[in-house]
Structure 1
Amino acid sequence: MARASRADEPDSGHAVPILVPDERGALVLDEAALRSVLLQDEVRHLPVVVVAIAGAFRRGKSFLLSLLLRFLEAGGAPGWLGADDRPLSGFAWRGGHQRHTVGIHMWSRPTCVSLPSGERVAVVLMDTQGAFDDRTEVSENAAVFALSALTSSLHIYNVSKTVGADDLQHLQLFAEYGRVACEAGGGPPFQRLLLLVRDWQAPSEAAYGQAGGQLVLCEALGEAPGAPDELRKMRCHVRRSFSDVDCFLMPYPGKLVATSPSFKGCPRDIDREFLSSVDELAGLILSPEKLVKKQSGGQVLTAADLVTHFQVLHEVFKSGRLPQPRSLIETMSEANHLAGVSRGTTLYAEEMRQLCPENSPPVEQADLDQYHRRTVEKVLACFYSQKKMLSTGAGAYKEKLMSGIDGWKKQFFQANKIKKELAEGPRRTVLQQCAG
């Protein structure tokens, strides 16, 4: 795997808080921060891959995500960990029992990766606040958990020691959402779920890594004889809610990692078995052939599309309360339509710029009219070809699209008119002089 490129090289990057709870527990979206990450020139039009991690607080999520960031930035090359005495930078992490990350953070610099097909994608890493502490409302934690899952293409659910009934219970929202989505005729509403078991204590029964994880997964989500009907249904709906569910078992990282206040993340202070497990995990989820592009309603999203999805989803989650599954589906459908509107207006502007660049001579009015009509036909064809979760209300979004196109049309037509007047001015002066 060749070294991946960064959106810009000078800045090494930092974690950007994009969603933070206020003192009342309401979730506040920092749209400027979100745009600073996803609308960078090099990535805004690329398909986006979003890897998010969530789970209970003080379970090493940010620490692990920083290791995955190092793998990603090194392109997974041999020796990607670097020197044994190299401290670990990236997402803020620390030992102890207090929660560190609050809300949702994104790494400021998406990493551009070429897939085996040659297509380039933008990979974004996303960290979430530790859930289930004694200072945060359960509904707020659940809302952050759900929002990260809805906006990611790979959702890592970080659990400790085993996959217990309580861990599965936290997936109940996804089970309900998946049930309603499937009944509405759609496919799985969520993409890839990875149950990541930290500090796995029974390697003799199930080996560390993906192979052992499959054994644990079968036990956790399998059709257990004699299981209560409610639990059996919930397991079934969880499996149907995600396009892919996997499990990975990791060993204890070492005493220094867990207890030393002077630990800086240097590889020499981390157990070799744990580092080997991280290497296997990183290859499993971040190698080019393993990357999963973010989709919604069957439509691949660009980084710019993801901005729209965050804005729309924030409206239903900002109270810190969970919406009803049916309203959530309608919200996702709205986000898909609005992303299509944004994509269509951008396509119109780009096509029209090709005909009449800023410093080009004026275009004949008849040619401009004809090119405008053809471009509108192309944009509408793309808009209607995009998959959407619900088809209801499509007419209203077409009106939004046409309104956006009309705004651009006025700009291009007015600019062309001014060019023509400027070009005709000197000729008119010459004709007047000749006539005089």
Structure 2
Amino acid sequence: MEAKSIATITADGKFELNICSLTEILHNLKCRDLAIVSMAGVYRTGKSFMLNFFIRYLREKGWENKDWFGPDNMKIQDGFKWKNGSKAHTLGIFVCPEIFYVKKNGEKVGVLIVDTQGLFDSNSSPDTNVNLMSISALLSSHQILNFQRKVCGTDLEHLQLSLEYALAASRSFPVKEKSFQKLTFLVRDWPNPDEHKFGQGGDEYIDGILKNIDPIQQVKKSIHSGFEHVNGFLMCRPNEKIDVNGTFEDLQNSDITGSFREHIIMLVDSVLNPKNLVVKKMFGQPISANGLINLISEVSNNIKSGKQPKIETLLESTIKANNATALQEAVLKYRCLLKRLVASSLPTDDVLRIQHEKAIKQAEKVFYSMATIGTESQNKDVWNHVEEECKTYYEFKKEEIRLRKATTRKSALEKAPKILQW
């Protein structure tokens, strides 16, 4: 199964969201909670290669199957297309269309794997890099940044817009939670295991990087303010065949040996083991599939031109997306409650009106529990739309019941002469 493109970068650097692909994937979701792992970073550093192991771990339920890595003759490529070369292969943002389900704390969670275009290639402008990173951060619950050998200060600049957004949101909206959940710095081909050991030695390494004083110190400070959890992971070099061979599609498990294989297994489990999974939230609350679609759609509209949008514009888009989701969920709640009554009976107009009033109150609770970041005036305007949609549905159901009653009476009258004759 190949990954689906949900966003592309045009030849002139403009950003295009494929909302149909994103909607198609998320509307297959069979639970409410989502965990979305997204990997981004410098091109030609093996992001897509690594994500194939993420997919395999999920398919084989690696948290309870010690043999999830598979036999030696098993091919590595699985889900994402990837190859080596001087040009970035992945152009945009791709999602594995298969949603994987796991149990976390007794609740079902849907897991999505995301691959982002190689950053800093010759076709990507600084604005393109920043915009891509912002969409990736908004989409994911666990953002993994992939680096080669070390993390340079300039490598963090593409986080700037995301972090400015996170800080502005914390100041503008009445919420205590941070905007983003988890950020992992994954350093490939780490050359100094004597200073910081492979694997979890990355935590100490990244902590030191973020404390060093340099021209982008403000970006570094903002990382801990924008993300709830920040950590690092250091990978050793693979063997020579993986490093230079041009026929990556032919690689098998037998080509993944020694410490490199051990650390792949360690990394994947640290990200995807149910106890380590991070559920996608927006301002402290789990975000629904509709909520995520609304958010990505609104923000994508701001970056179509390829230029960085103003923070104020992003915040306004966030409010619009949040209110749109609150409207959808409130109307859905109302319809479900009214359908439950009408499906099994033919209530009188008075009974239907009473049920309508009860359903409206429940819808109002749902709406205001979700519409928490807009102004009172903004939220009131959207609530008025909720009431209008509910009233329209109420009138529709009233007419439906009237017609069903009429049909029932007609059927009874047609049968009456036969009964009398009998």
TM (norm. structure 2) is 0.92
- The one-letter code matched in structure 2 to 1:195 is F
Question: Within 1, Cα distance between the matches of 2:149 and 2:368?
Answer: 48
- The one-letter code matched in structure 2 to 1:107 is C
Q: Is 1:256 aligned to residue 241 of structure 2?
A: yes
Which of 372, 375, 379 is equivalent to 2:356? 372
8 Å Cα contact 1:299-1:387 kept in structure 2: no
The unaligned stretches of length 5 or more in structure 1 are: 1-12
Q: Is 1:126 aligned to residue 114 of structure 2?
A: yes
Distance 1:137 1:333, change over 3 A: same
Q: Is 1:101 aligned to residue 94 of structure 2?
A: no
Aligned length: 414
Deviation at 1:434, TM superposition (A): 9.9
Distance 1:62 1:87, change over 3 A: same
Deviation at 1:123, TM superposition (A): 0.7
Deviation at 1:401, TM superposition (A): 2.1
Which of 193, 216, 234 is equivalent to 2:205? 216
Distance 1:246 1:404, change over 3 A: farther
Distance 1:48 1:410, change over 3 A: farther
Deviation at 1:202, TM superposition (A): 0.6
Q: Is 1:188 aligned to residue 178 of structure 2?
A: yes
Question: Within 1, Cα distance between the matches of 2:396 and 2:168?
Answer: 44
Distance 1:380 1:93, change over 3 A: same
8 Å Cα contact 1:297-1:333 kept in structure 2: no
Question: Within 2, Cα distance between the matches of 1:148 and 1:250?
Answer: 23
Q: Is 1:384 aligned to residue 373 of structure 2?
A: no
Secondary structure of 1:340's match?
helix
Secondary structure of 2:185's match?
strand
Name the residue aligned to 1:4. Answer: none
8 Å Cα contact 2:130-2:160 kept in structure 1: no
User: Which residues in structure 2 correspond to 1:228-377 (within 5 Å)?
Assistant: 228=214, 231-263=216-248, 264-357=250-343, 360-377=344-361
Question: Within 2, Cα distance between the matches of 1:426 and 1:408?
Answer: 27
8 Å Cα contact 1:18-1:33 kept in structure 2: yes
- The one-letter code matched in structure 1 to 2:188 is R
Question: Within 1, Cα distance between the matches of 2:348 and 2:413?
Answer: 18
Q: Is 1:31 aligned to residue 19 of structure 2?
A: yes
8 Å Cα contact 1:65-1:91 kept in structure 2: yes
Once the two structures are aligned, what percentage of the paired residues are identical?
27
Q: Deviations over 1:330-384 (max 9, x none)?
A: 2122211211111122222222222222xx4423322222112111111111111
8 Å Cα contact 1:252-1:274 kept in structure 2: yes
Question: Within 2, Cα distance between the matches of 1:319 and 1:26?
Answer: 5
Q: Bigger shift: 373-382 or 319-328?
A: 319-328
Question: Within 1, Cα distance between the matches of 2:158 and 2:19?
Answer: 28
- The one-letter code matched in structure 2 to 1:139 is D
Question: Within 1, Cα distance between the matches of 2:282 and 2:275?
Answer: 21
- The one-letter code matched in structure 1 to 2:393 is W
- The one-letter code matched in structure 2 to 1:316 is N
Q: Is 1:198 aligned to residue 182 of structure 2?
A: no
Which of 102, 105, 110 is equivalent to 2:99? 110
Secondary structure of 2:381's match?
helix
Q: Deviations over 1:285-337 (max 9, x none)?
A: 11111111111122211223222222212111222222122221221222112
Q: Bigger shift: 413-422 or 283-292?
A: 413-422
Question: Within 2, Cα distance between the matches of 1:93 and 1:407?
Answer: 51
Distance 1:292 1:387, change over 3 A: farther
The unaligned stretches of length 5 or more in structure 2 are: none
Question: Within 2, Cα distance between the matches of 1:422 and 1:279?
Answer: 65
Q: CA RMSD, aligned part only?
A: 2.2
Distance 1:203 1:387, change over 3 A: farther
Deviation at 1:402, TM superposition (A): 2.2
Question: Within 2, Cα distance between the matches of 1:354 and 1:249?
Answer: 54
8 Å Cα contact 1:178-1:238 kept in structure 2: no
User: Which residues in structure 2 correspond to 1:387-426 (within 5 Å)?
Assistant: 388-392=372-376, 393-426=378-411
TM (norm. structure 1) is 0.89
